């Protein structure tokens, strides 16, 4: 996990690769696009999350937009902030380890994971999304 720090080059200087965590499943990204502060939600399994999506008609693939992608990125950054994690595009390895540890501790306490998707990191890396500092 620590070896996959960024998509361009890693510790061995040979491999590019970035681990993009999603809890409890990749559908977390879709929810984070449409539910502000969804990082406060908790689910045990991906099946539970799929049931949540099915019960919420506003959460649909065909409604993805620039606004919804921004919502997902803001939700991801809110997770980082609420857990005192430093965000950087240059080295995700240590942060991924911290997220894994925090998620496993959350699961040990409640048998559920906090909803989180790091897919927005890829969009930031690719320049599809940009972080704009507010004045």
17-18 and 22-23 strand pairing? unpaired
CA distance from start to end of the chain: 35
* pLDDT attached to residue 91: 74
Residues 93 and 115: their CA atoms lie apart, in Å, by 20
pLDDT digits (tens, 9 = 90+) for 12-36: 555 555 667 888 888 999 999 999 9
Q: How confident is the model at residue 103 (pLDDT cuts 50, 70, 90)?
A: very high
Residues 77 and 79: their CA atoms lie apart, in Å, by: 5
Q: How many CA atoms lie within 13 A of 125 on its CB side?
A: 21
Query: DSSP state, 6?
Result: E
Model confidence pLDDT, tens digit, residues 48-88: 999 999 999 999 999 999 999 999 999 999 999 999 998 88
In this predicted structure, the answer to whether residue 95 has a pLDDT above a threshold of 90 is no
Report the pLDDT value the prediction gives residue 104, as an integer from 0 to 100. 94
For the chain, the structural domain boundaries read 5-126
In tens, the pLDDT along 114-132 reads 999 999 998 988 888 888 8
CB atoms within 10 A of CB 133: 4
Q: What is the pTM of this model?
A: 0.83
Length of the chain: 135
């Amino acid at each position: 996990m620590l070896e996959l720090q960024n998509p361009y080059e890693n510790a061995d200087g040979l491999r590019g690769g970035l681990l993009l965590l999603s809890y409890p499943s990749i559908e977390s990204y879709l929810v984070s696009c449409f539910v502000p502060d969804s990082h406060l939600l908790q689910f045990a399994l991906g099946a539970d999350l799929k049931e949540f999506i099915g019960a919420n008609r506003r959460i649909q693939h065909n409604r993805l937009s620039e606004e919804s992608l921004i919502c997902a990125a803001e939700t991801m950054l809110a997770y980082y902030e609420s857990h005192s994690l430093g965000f950087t595009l240059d080295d995700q390895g240590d942060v991924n380890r911290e997220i894994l540890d925090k998620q496993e501790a959350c699961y040990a306490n409640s048998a559920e994971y906090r909803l989180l998707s790091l897919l927005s990191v890829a969009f930031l890396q690719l320049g599809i999304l940009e972080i704009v500092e507010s004045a």
